[in-house]
């Protein structure tokens, strides 16, 4: 099996992290709506703006993967690791990610999106 090119790894990992960010944003939006915030609108606007940017990035990433015949499949999961299989031209590269690392990296990316100016 040939190794994946270094430049495709960020795109493949985006297909792991971006959906996680969207899930978190959806849950947080519900919590804000149901919460006892004095002014909900600014928080909801911020969450919606970030979600739009993440959706756009996810669409760009999906397009890149399609053009380059790449895909990501989630494999086995346990309390410590989650396995992801990166597929390129019918060849597979199986990688295991620590769940703690997945959570921490998702938090880092969410923080970056929240600090970036809006669209």
* Domain range for 79: 6-115
Q: Taking a C-beta distance cutoff of 8 angstroms, is the pair 4, 48 a contact?
A: no
| Residue 90 resides in a domain | yes
Query: Cα(78)–Cα(109) distance, rounded to whole angstroms?
Result: 23
| Number of domains into which the chain is organized | 1
| Residue 1 resides in a domain | no
pLDDT in tens, 16-75: 999 999 999 999 999 999 999 899 999 999 999 999 999 999 999 999 999 999 999 999
| Residue 69 resides in a domain | yes
pLDDT in tens, 87-110: 998 889 999 999 999 999 999 999
| Residue 60 resides in a domain | yes
Query: Cα(34)–Cα(3) distance, rounded to whole angstroms?
Result: 47
| Residue 41 resides in a domain | yes
List the strands of the sheet with 81-88, edge to edge: 70-77, 81-88, 91-98
| Residue 96 resides in a domain | yes
């Amino acid at each position: 099996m040939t190794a994946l090119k270094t430049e495709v790894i960020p795109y493949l990992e985006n297909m792991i992290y971006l959906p996680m960010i969207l899930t978190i944003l959806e849950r947080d939006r519900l919590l804000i709506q149901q919460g006892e915030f004095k002014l909900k609108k600014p928080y909801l606007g911020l969450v919606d703006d970030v979600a739009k940017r993440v959706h756009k990035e996810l669409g760009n990433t999906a397009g890149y993967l399609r053009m380059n015949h790449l895909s990501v499949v989630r494999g086995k999961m346990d309390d410590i690791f989650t396995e992801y299989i990166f597929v390129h031209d019918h060849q597979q590269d199986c990688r295991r990610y620590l769940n703690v690392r997945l959570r921490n990296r998702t938090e880092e990316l969410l923080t970056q999106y929240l600090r970036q100016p809006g669209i």
